[in-house]
């Protein structure tokens, strides 16, 4: 397996005074039945405007250059909050995608059409927020603070744990074998989002250091590989697929993007991400964005919108456009597509991987990057070939923190053929209880990416990423984040069982090479 290592290292990153981190290791999984479950998309627009047009109209990006509202937000403006209201009350599992099956060209003509000479004007900055501004000099709340915010889900039972100050996560999904993977994943992450509000301080979690380590890895990957928009005055846009609770919002601020788009299948996670963003966004963004101006490092200086949707079963335009009319023409193609700790769910079938990679490549501008983190098929191969199993049957490996249990006997040479549908249950203490996910045979994944015009630029195991790049990032990252990785020998990084658990993952970067 060839490996390229060409970090750009050129992206300017800023040291920020504090860091409200989340998830990171919140890796999860599923089980499958061939039933295809898409999602109707539900979206949360973010606006800092106080008033809206009375008469909704279709947006025309280039026809509204003088306006100070992003064009994609102009139509249906009046029902913006109504939509959020609806979303807020949304309870039922999402069923049935309306994605047309066989009209990709039609859909993507529009999708790709925005990248022309007038793209400078595709989005405008606008001011006036309803979000309260923190007192000057006050730092943004970190995730521990956020967890202590009273939550509306008082019906959720609190899991009993050994530490009275900390309640470890425990899944309450029953009869997984009768559910399709989307349902399991959605239920799992909805539960996690709700339970996390009652768990207590994250610093008490048995995987606290691991979470910090994984977050640092994502800072490094995004810091080195998010490429700014090549067109001056055009916003730098990041599309976060399977964004979860918005755990990477801080990282997006760190790399100074201008626009964030988050999509996830878990409606509770999206709601939490929206809430996290809303609490911390800047009060005012100048009309011309913040290019060349100082950013407020205590807050999010970028615009954001969030939508619920199935990234592996539905096209991105079909997820976003119904909720944010004009967004595809207004903000796409984007500069970066990020997918953190989630791509393995797609490897259930070729169809899902194809849908995902179509979403990625059609969303990206040429030269844009596709950045992700996944379990390492090489790591699995090693375990299998060396027979480092926890059970007699040779289906389970791991340690006291994590475990992988294959559904079927793994191949003796550790090479999974065909590349799809190799299911295993993954467990991670205080995060994941036996949730199914799929092996991502990396070389096959790479070949699929190449078929989609994506060329591998970087691929490394987490331990190597950390060792090679932490010197550059050590002084730039939040002190609490760094201190949260302190080892027993006084140095920083992962050790013991945690080291093996984080070594299970790799980071990758592909670049879109052609139009
Ligand atoms: C381990 S979490 C990672 C969250 C976030 N990317 C992070 O790094 O903190 C995996 C996420 O993938 C989401 N997910 C799984 N399958 C999905 C799908 N088909 N479409 C969209 N999101 C999906 C889950 O709901 C969950 O939020």
Q: Give the mean pLDDT of the chain.
A: 74
CA–centroid distance, residue 245 to ligand 1 (Å): 9
Total residue length of the chain = 515
Handedness of CA 415, 416, 417, 418 (dihedral sign): negative
- For ligand 1, the distance from its centroid to the CA atom of residue 158, given in whole angstroms, is 23
Reference 332, options 236, 244, 449; nearest CA is 236
Tell me, yes or no, whether 14 lies in a domain. Answer: no
263, 240 in Cβ contact below 8 A? yes
* pLDDT at residue 442, rounded to an integer: 98
Calculate how far, in angstroms, residue 337's C-alpha sits from the geometric centre of ligand 1. Answer: 14
Cis peptide, bond prior to residue 306, ω within 30 of zero: no
Same-domain check for residues 258 and 110: no
Q: Is the shortest distance between the CB of 169 and ligand 1 below 6 Å?
A: no
Alpha-carbon distance of 472 to 64, in angstroms, equals 43
Answer yes or no: is the C-beta of 243 below 6 A from any ligand 1 atom.
yes
> What are the tokens at 290?
């913040």
- Tell me, yes or no, whether 118 and 213 share the same domain: no
At residue 71, does pLDDT exceed 80? no
Q: Would residue 279 count as lying in a domain? A: yes
CA distances from 239 to 102, 236, 305, 418 (A): 24, 10, 10, 30
Bridge partners, residue 303, by sequence: 259
Determine the distance separating the centroid of ligand 1 and the alpha carbon of 390, expressed in angstroms.
28
Cα–Cα distance for residue pair 461/31, rounded to 1 Å: 26
In a domain, 183, yes or no: no
Provide the CATH number for the domain around residue 499: 3.40.50.150
Which one is predicted more confidently, 178 or 305?
Answer: 305
Region 52-75: mean pLDDT is 32
Say whether both 117 and 207 belong to one domain. no
Task: Supply the pLDDT for residue 489.
Answer: 97
Q: How many helices (H) and strands (E) does the chain have?
A: 15, 12
Total tally of structural domains belonging to the chain: 2
Do 324 and 443 fall within a single domain?
yes
Three-state SS for 312?
A: coil
Q: Provide, for the chain, the percentages of residues in helix, strand and coil under a 3-state DSSP scheme, each rounded to the nearest 5.
A: 35, 15, 50
CA of 29 to the centre of ligand 1 (A): 9
pLDDT category, 118, cuts 50, 70, 90?
Answer: very low
**342 C-beta closer than 6 A to ligand 1:** yes
Same domain, 88 and 213: no
pLDDT surpasses 70 at 437: yes
Among the candidates 99, 122, 145, a domain finishes at 122
**Ligand 1 geometric centre to CA of 265 (Å):** 7
The arithmetic mean of pLDDT across residues 201-224, rounded, is 93
Handedness of CA 354, 360, 365, 368 (dihedral sign): negative
DSSP state letters, 93-119: PP------SS-HHHHHHHHHTT-STTG
Lowest average pLDDT, out of 175-189, 278-292, 471-485, goes to 278-292
Query: Within a domain: residue 172?
Result: no
Q: What does the pLDDT look like over 228-285, one tens digit per residue?
A: 999 988 999 999 999 999 999 999 999 999 999 999 999 999 999 999 999 998 866 5
Instruction: Identify the residue whose C-alpha is closest to ligand 1 atom 14.
Output: 242
311 lines ligand 1 (CB under 6 A): yes
Lowest mean pLDDT among 116-125, 175-184, 420-429: 116-125
Q: 296 or 463, which is more confident?
A: 463
Q: Which residue has the tokens 């990206």?
A: 364
**Single residue among 89, 122, 155 that ends a domain in this structure:** 122
More confident residue, 12 or 514: 514
> Is 82 among the domain residues?
yes
Inside any domain, residue 57: yes
Interface confidence, given as ipTM, is 1.00
Domain boundary among 75, 98, 122: 122
Q: Is the pLDDT of residue 421 over 80?
A: yes
Query: Are 332 and 239 found together in one domain?
Result: yes
Find the mean pLDDT for residues 173-189: 76
Which residue CA neighbors atom 13 of ligand 1 most closely? Answer: 242
Domain of 405 in residue numbering reads as: 203-512
């Amino acid at each position: 397996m060839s490996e390229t290592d060409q970090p750009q290292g050129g992206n300017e990153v800023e040291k920020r005074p504090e860091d409200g981190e989340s998830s990171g290791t919140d890796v999860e999984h599923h089980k499958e039945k061939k039933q295809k479950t898409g999602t109707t998309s539900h979206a949360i627009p973010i606006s800092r405007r106080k008033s809206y047009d009375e008469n909704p109209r279709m947006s025309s990006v280039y026809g509204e250059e003088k306006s100070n509202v992003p064009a994609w937000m102009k139509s249906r403006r009046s029902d913006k909050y109504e939509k959020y209201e609806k979303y807020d009350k949304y309870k039922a599992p999402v069923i049935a995608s309306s994605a047309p099956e066989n009209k990709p060209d039609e859909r993507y003509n529009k999708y790709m059409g925005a990248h022309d000479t007038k793209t400078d004007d595709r989005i405008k900055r606008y001011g006036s927020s309803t979000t309260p501004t923190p007192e000057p000099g006050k730092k943004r709340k970190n995730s521990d603070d956020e967890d202590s915010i009273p939550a509306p889900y008082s019906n959720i039972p609190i899991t009993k744990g050994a530490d009275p100050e900390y309640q470890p996560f425990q899944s309450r999904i029953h009869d997984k074998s009768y559910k399709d993977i989307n349902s399991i994943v959605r239920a799992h992450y909805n539960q996690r989002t709700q339970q996390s509000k009652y768990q207590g301080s994250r610093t008490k979690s048995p995987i606290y250091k691991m979470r910090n380590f994984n977050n640092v890895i994502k800072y490094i990957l995004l810091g080195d590989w998010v490429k700014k928009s090549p067109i001056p005055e055009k916003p730098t846009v990041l599309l976060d697929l399977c964004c979860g609770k918005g755990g990477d919002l801080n990282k997006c601020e760190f790399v100074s993007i201008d626009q964030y788009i988050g999509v996830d299948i878990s409606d509770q996670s999206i709601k939490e991400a929206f809430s996290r963003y809303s609490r911390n966004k800047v009060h005012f963004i100048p009309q011309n964005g913040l290019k060349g101006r100082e950013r407020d490092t205590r807050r999010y200086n970028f615009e954001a919108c969030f939508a619920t949707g199935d990234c592996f079963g539905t096209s991105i335009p079909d997820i976003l456009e119904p909720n944010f009319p004009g967004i595809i023409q207004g903000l796409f193609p984007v500069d970066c597509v990020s997918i953190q700790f989630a791509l393995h769910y797609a490897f259930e079938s070729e169809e899902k991987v194809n849908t995902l990679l179509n979403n990625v490549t059609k969303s990206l501008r040429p030269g844009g990057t596709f950045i992700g983190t996944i379990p390492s098929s090489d790591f699995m191969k090693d375990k299998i070939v060396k027979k480092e199993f926890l059970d007699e049957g040779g289906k389970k490996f791991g340690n006291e923190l994590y475990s992988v249990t294959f559904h079927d006997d793994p191949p003796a040479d550790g090479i999974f053929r065909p590349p799809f549908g190799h299911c295993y249950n993954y467990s991670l203490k205080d995060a994941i209880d036996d949730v199914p996910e799929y092996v991502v045979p990396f070389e096959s994944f790479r070949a699929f990416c190449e078929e989609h015009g994506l060329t591998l630029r970087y691929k490394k195991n987490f331990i190597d990423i950390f060792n090679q790049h932490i010197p550059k990032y050590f002084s730039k990252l939040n002190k609490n984040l760094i201190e949260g990785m302190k080892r027993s020998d006084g140095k920083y990084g992962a050790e013991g069982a945690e080291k093996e658990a984080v070594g299970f993952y790799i980071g990758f970067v592909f670049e879109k090479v052609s139009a």
